Structure 1
Amino acid sequence: MGSSAKKKREKKADFQKTKLKVGKTKAKAANFTDTSFKAKSIVLNQQSLSTAAPSIDQQFAHQLSLASSKTDSQRRDAINYLTNTITERPNNLPLPVATILPKIQPLILDASNSVRAALTKLLRALPPAHVATHVDHMLLYVRAGMTHLAAEIRNSSLDVLEWLLQTAGQELVSCAGGWLKTLHCFLTLLGWHSATQPGNWSSERAVSFGKPGSAASKLLIKQLNILTMFLRAGFTDADASGNPAAANASCFPLCSAEHQLLYARSNPFRGLNLFGAPKDAENAMYDDAEARKRAFDDATVRTVARGVSAAKKEGGEIGRAASGLEKALLDGMGEFHRDTE
């Protein structure tokens, strides 16, 4: 049985037709990689092995470079690492603030809420004394955030502005565009801008205050409170003394010596703009409180007064915030305040 079956298979194989392959072999792709080889180890070029771990300064610089990564989680983790390192070493930063701020300030406009929240913590951890000279560059991103289409970015940019006012308020209101341009951003944010173009039948845009306790209402209260901080900083001089007579008596026989001294800050004559391009009133620098009061009185005092009057009628927390803003106007303007009714 077994031998006969084997013979039948062999006999059948003799009559089977062999399939022949005709034509050329298909060409290999341009990116073809031959993987038929076998190797016991793979050697990488430029591979460095060291027993010493990277220093804290090197790790800090690496994490700072990851702050501009495309991944939200990677940016957030990098910012958190920078915050922890700065908190542990506040007096011995791995990198100067002048190197850190240009890398992180674009994150004010970041689309991720967690990244912006981490950025706010990082900014508050920086040494305040090193921030004053970089306020003008930070303010560019803050103003862009204040007028952003996304409400979350507008809200977080106000947090950064509040930190700047607490850290370097005088530098903020006295830098180029820091006074009137930022004030006009507030007016746009609050909807208090007057329509000055000829032919417009409406003089002002309607403002929606929102229901009490709503997100729009809370945002409006925050805007009014930070505007109050901004105006108080602008209406006050950095070296204002409560008792000028006592100050003059302390430096006898010199009288009013503070008016004869140069600024302690760098570039004391920057307000003269001797070598720069001509600037309009909005982008000008107002170094002293009197100049800022005059510019405010000429430009927006009536618009702000009408907006405050409308906000006070709402009552509640909005009314209290508007009353605080009105008190800042009355205390700050003094003889510059005119009848706006």
Structure 2
Amino acid sequence: MGSSNRHKKQKQKDFAKRKLKVGKLAPRRANQTDASFKVRSISLNQRKTLSSNETDDEAFKKKLSILKKPTTNLNSRKAIMSEILHDMSTQRDGLSGHMDEILKVSALLIIDRSRTMREMNLDLWSKLIELGETDGFVLHLNTFLLFVNSAMTHLVPAIRKDSIKYLNCLLSDERISPFVVKSSWFKLLRNFMILMNWTSRADDSGKGKTIVVRESSSELMSKNLSKSRVEEITVLARMIRLGCLNPVGKDGKPKEESSLQIHPFTSLYMLPEEPNPYSALKLFTEIHFSSNLSAFSGTSANKSGGIDYEELSTEDRENRIKMLCEVFGDGLEEGLKELSKEDNRVLAGKSKALLGDYQSIKKEYLLAESD
């Protein structure tokens, strides 16, 4: 009996709650882990630091390598781009030796996912063209146009919108714009048709169906995106006028191709100014001729039987007019007629003006074909 009472008291003692006074902690258990220690740590930013023993050229190349990587910290890239823009205005001679590397990185930034970087890159283009640094643009033009064409059909709407600004920047300079329309006439027109959701004969070339990256015109106006369409029509009109209409001087007369010539054939014996003057000859391209192609005489055909329009030369104005009217004419005319009926007066006016220019170009084409 005495042992059972002793066991009951022992159990009551084990499960008894201790009354603690205010400000005092409960006693620690024997198996409790002490977590009161602290660890000191040093955290470093992801920004790369430049060592003191590096030369200025090596340091600048490291900055460019940081700039072209989209995974790098955005603030670091913005700081480097701001530094380049500032040096372009203050000490342009110091960057002349790195202009080739800057333009290569600039081509990658055309499709950068950061809107701020694309805008700063566009400011760089505008500043270079304003300062007369167009030689580098001509040398890297094929790369620039490759990324611009890729941006025009990009899945991100903001990149598609900015691609028009880049193209407008290239077309705004008198020296660069002729090379743009000569080297990438078909691709730019095809991408404009895709961007506008217009049809063309290029869709039947056997290279797959056209992707639709935009809504139709009525849906577009209901979403209040007519401002973007105005910019696209403006750039398209500038490109078509540069590629198909005779250039007019300040006096209203057509410009001559070269005003300083001793003999009409002097330019044939001079060094060409183009980076690839014999690209139209397709010296290193295998071309399959077919006699039953109606669009162009001697055009190349792909394996599926369609016309490979990318192989056609657009160095001459006549060929550009021919391609515009035969390949893109019907869809362009139909789309411009639809846009000219919109409520937006600016968009309707620009569409009517471009439609009138195209109809005059089409008349010239029909007269040349009838002769």
Q: TM-score, normalised by structure 2?
A: 0.65
Summarize the alignment of residues 147-226 of structure 1 with structure 2, pairs less than 5 Å apart: 147-167=153-173, 168-175=176-183, 178-194=184-200, 207-210=216-219, 215-226=224-235
Q: Which residue matches 2:329? A: 301
CA offsets per residue over residues 43-88 of structure 1, 9 Å max, x none? xxxx9766xx954x55433322221232222222222222221222
Q: Secondary structure at the match of 2:309?
A: coil
Count of residues in Structure 1 that have an aligned counterpart in Structure 2: 279
CA offsets per residue over residues 4-30 of structure 1, 9 Å max, x none? xxxxxxxxxxxxxxxxxxxxxxxxxxx
Q: 2:278 aligns with which of 252, 265, 269?
A: 269
What CA distance in whole angstroms lies between the structure 2 residues aligned with 1:170 and 1:301?
21
Q: Tell me if 1:84 matches 2:90.
A: no
CA offsets per residue over residues 199-250 of structure 1, 9 Å max, x none? xxxxx99723457695521111111111111111211578998276x96xx8
What CA distance in whole angstroms lies between the structure 2 residues aligned with 1:64 and 1:172?
27
Residue identity over aligned pairs, in percent, reads 22
Change (3 A) 1:207 1:95: same
Cα shift at 1:133: 1.9
Change (3 A) 1:210 1:165: same
Q: Which residue matches 1:336? A: 365
What CA distance in whole angstroms lies between the structure 2 residues aligned with 1:61 and 1:116?
20
Q: Secondary structure at the match of 1:263?
A: coil
CA offsets per residue over residues 71-111 of structure 1, 9 Å max, x none? 22222222222222122234552434332222221221111
Q: Which residue matches 1:62? A: 62
Cα shift at 1:304: 0.5
Q: Which residue matches 1:40? A: none
Q: Secondary structure at the match of 2:110?
A: helix
Aligned amino acid, residue 138 of structure 2: A
Change (3 A) 1:62 1:255: closer
What CA distance in whole angstroms lies between the structure 2 residues aligned with 1:243 and 1:139?
26
Q: Which residue matches 1:323? A: 352
Root mean square deviation, CA, Å = 3.5
Change (3 A) 1:119 1:209: farther
Q: Any conservation in 1 of the 2:181–2:242 contact (CA below 8 Å)? A: yes
Cα shift at 1:277: 4.0
Q: Any conservation in 2 of the 1:110–1:116 contact (CA below 8 Å)? A: yes
Summarize the alignment of residues 125-140 of structure 1 with structure 2, pairs less than 5 Å apart: 125-126=127-128, 127-140=133-146
What CA distance in whole angstroms lies between the structure 2 residues aligned with 1:75 and 1:62?
12
